[in-house]
């Protein structure tokens, strides 16, 4: 069975090896998430050759413009007055006759680093994948789930020497979503805008530089629902109504569904301490367990079942099923929150 490396931190090991000049002859980078594929590829480009050697020893092509025979011919060339050469095929999923790569893999050129970016999907040829993995790096770049985004954001800033809180992570993840290229772009803009002495990302920084409200967002709405603070929830919904593009209904309803689905699991565990809740839900921060403990007190299991059902109904209604034409998402959200909290 082919086991492309799927661990969430596998890319870090690959990047570390590249930075230490521990190169493999072939890198086959595939999967639905382009961010990690581009990250590894750019790291190879930055480290494989000195800048002076790149003119004659670096070849970057696109799968739509070449065929496998020309890629193999390029890979078989010897470097010109350099230790190695680099051949990168971007959008390799557009290459015809991928199986021909097998001929090159039998005897790869030792002085060549061949990189193939197979984006937005995975190669199904198990025999070829096994041959790649035997001599090179086979990496599958998987999409992150919504619940993984706060951890990604936190780690991204930590690696750059900055810290960020749970609320701020949630603000960014809710507003930007799972497009990691866009998300990292916004985070880089945020870092550039910070005063040099600042090492902590705050809600004020995010509000000022990215345009996400620190007081009226999905994190604060969920907090209001957890604490049954209907007045605060109504204020946030009014803000959402005035700023619909910044606060899409589908994101808000996903946040609510994820929380109450997790909450439902907790009614069946015998020990409802913060530590047990953190372990059961695999929470990265034990302080997140406090919200669940409050919700357990404010909503019983029967109410939680009703809430999950309501969320599903209103998700369907937001798609036009059983809803009058022209019904605004803000009206649906008002109804949903009222029914959840009463």
Q: C-alpha distances in angstroms, 210 versus 76, 173, 185, 252, 325? A: 48, 12, 11, 19, 33
65-89 tens-digit pLDDT:
999 999 999 999 999 999 999 999 9
With contact defined as beta carbons under 8 Å apart, do 92 and 124 qualify?
Answer: no
CATH H-level superfamily of 10-140? P-loop containing nucleotide triphosphate hydrolases (3.40.50.300)
Q: Select the CATH number that applies to the domain covering 218-341 from these four: 1.20.272.10, 1.10.3720.10, 1.10.10.10, 3.30.70.890.
A: 1.20.272.10
Segment 161-186 shows an average pLDDT of 89
The region, left, alpha or beta by phi > 0 then psi within -120 to 50, assigned to residue 4 is beta
Residues of the chain with pLDDT > 70, as a percent, come to 97
Side-chain half-sphere of 148: how many Cα atoms within 13 Å? 9
Q: Nearest CA to 207 among 172, 250, 253?
A: 172
13-72 tens-digit pLDDT:
999 999 999 999 999 999 999 999 999 999 999 999 999 999 999 999 999 999 999 999
Six-digit token string for 43:
């790291």
> In terms of DSSP bridges, do strands 163-164 and 200-201 run parallel, antiparallel, or are they unpaired?
parallel
Mean pLDDT of the chain: 90
- Higher-pLDDT residue of 174 and 113 is 113
Q: Select the CATH number that applies to the domain covering 146-210 from these four: 1.10.4160.10, 1.10.3080.10, 3.20.20.70, 1.10.8.60.
A: 1.10.8.60
Residue 52: strand, helix, or coil: helix
Q: How confident is the model at residue 325 (pLDDT cuts 50, 70, 90)?
A: confident
State how far the Cα of 213 lies from the Cα of 205, in Å rounded to an integer. 10
Q: How confident is the model at residue 174 (pLDDT cuts 50, 70, 90)?
A: confident
**Can 146-210 and 218-341 be said to share one CATH topology?**
no
Segment 193-204 shows an average pLDDT of 89
Q: Nearest CA to 208 among 166, 179, 158, 171?
A: 171
State how far the Cα of 75 lies from the Cα of 104, in Å rounded to an integer. 8
State how far the Cα of 22 lies from the Cα of 55, in Å rounded to an integer. 22
What pTM, to 2 d.p., does this model score? 0.72
State how far the Cα of 17 lies from the Cα of 316, in Å rounded to an integer. 48
Q: Which class for 308: exposed (0-12), middle (13-18), buried (19 or more C-beta within 10 A)?
A: middle
- Per-domain residue ranges for the chain? 10-140, 146-210, 218-341
State how far the Cα of 308 lies from the Cα of 299, in Å rounded to an integer. 12
With contact defined as beta carbons under 8 Å apart, do 237 and 332 qualify?
Answer: no
Side-chain half-sphere of 224: how many Cα atoms within 13 Å? 19
Segment 244-248 shows an average pLDDT of 82
**79 DSSP 8-state letter:** P
Helix ranges (H only) for 120-273 are 126-135, 149-159, 166-176, 180-193, 203-210, 218-226, 230-242, 249-266
Q: How confident is the model at residue 8 (pLDDT cuts 50, 70, 90)?
A: low
Q: How confident is the model at residue 166 (pLDDT cuts 50, 70, 90)?
A: confident
The sign of the torsion formed by the CA atoms of 277, 153, 168, 341 equals negative
State how far the Cα of 230 lies from the Cα of 13, in Å rounded to an integer. 47
Q: Nearest CA to 129 among 120, 141, 138?
A: 138
In the block, which residue shows the tokens 């050129």? 109
Six-digit token string for 222:
């969920």
> What pLDDT, on a 0 to 100 scale, did the predictor assign at position 115?
98
Q: Nearest CA to 53 among 84, 89, 9?
A: 84
Q: Given 3-state DSSP classes, what are the helix, strand and coil percentages for the chain, each rounded to the nearest 5? A: 60, 10, 30
């Amino acid at each position: 069975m082919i086991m492309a490396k799927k661990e969430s931190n596998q890319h870090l090991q690959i990047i570390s090896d590249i930075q230490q000049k521990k190169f493999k002859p072939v890198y086959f980078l595939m999967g639905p998430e382009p961010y990690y594929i581009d990250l590894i590829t750019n790291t190879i480009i930055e480290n494989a050759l000195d800048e002076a050697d790149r003119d004659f020893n670096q070849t970057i092509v696109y799968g739509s413009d070449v065929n496998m025979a020309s890629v193999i011919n390029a890979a078989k060339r010897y470097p010109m007055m350099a230790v190695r050469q680099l051949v990168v095929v971007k959008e390799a999923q557009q290459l015809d006759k991928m199986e021909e790569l097998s001929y090159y893999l039998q005897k790869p050129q030792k002085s060549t680093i061949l990189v193939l970016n197979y984006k937005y999907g995975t190669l199904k040829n198990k025999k070829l994948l096994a041959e790649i993995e035997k001599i090179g790096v086979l990496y599958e770049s998987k999409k992150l789930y919504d619940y993984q985004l706060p951890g990604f954001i936190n780690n991204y800033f930590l690696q750059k020497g900055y810290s960020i809180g749970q609320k701020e992570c949630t603000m960014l993840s809710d507003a930007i979503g799972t497009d990691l290229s866009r998300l990292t772009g916004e985070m880089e803009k945020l870092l550039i805008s910070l005063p040099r002495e600042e090492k902590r990302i705050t809600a004020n920084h995010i509000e000022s530089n990215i345009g996400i409200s620190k007081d009226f967002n999905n994190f604060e709405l969920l907090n209001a629902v957890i604490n049954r603070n209907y007045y605060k929830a109504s204020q946030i919904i009014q803000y959402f109504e005035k700023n619909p593009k910044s606060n899409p209904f589908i994101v808000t309803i996903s946040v609510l569904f994820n929380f109450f689905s997790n909450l439902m699991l907790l009614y069946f565990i015998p020990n409802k301490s913060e530590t047990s809740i953190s372990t059961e839900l695999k929470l990265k921060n034990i302080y997140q367990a406090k919200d669940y403990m409050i919700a357990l007190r404010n909503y019983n299991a029967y109410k939680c079942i009703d809430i999950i059902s309501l969320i599903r109904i209103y998700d369907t209604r937001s798609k036009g099923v059983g809803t009058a034409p022209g019904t605004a998402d803000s009206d649906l959200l008002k109804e949903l929150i009222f029914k959840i909290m009463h």
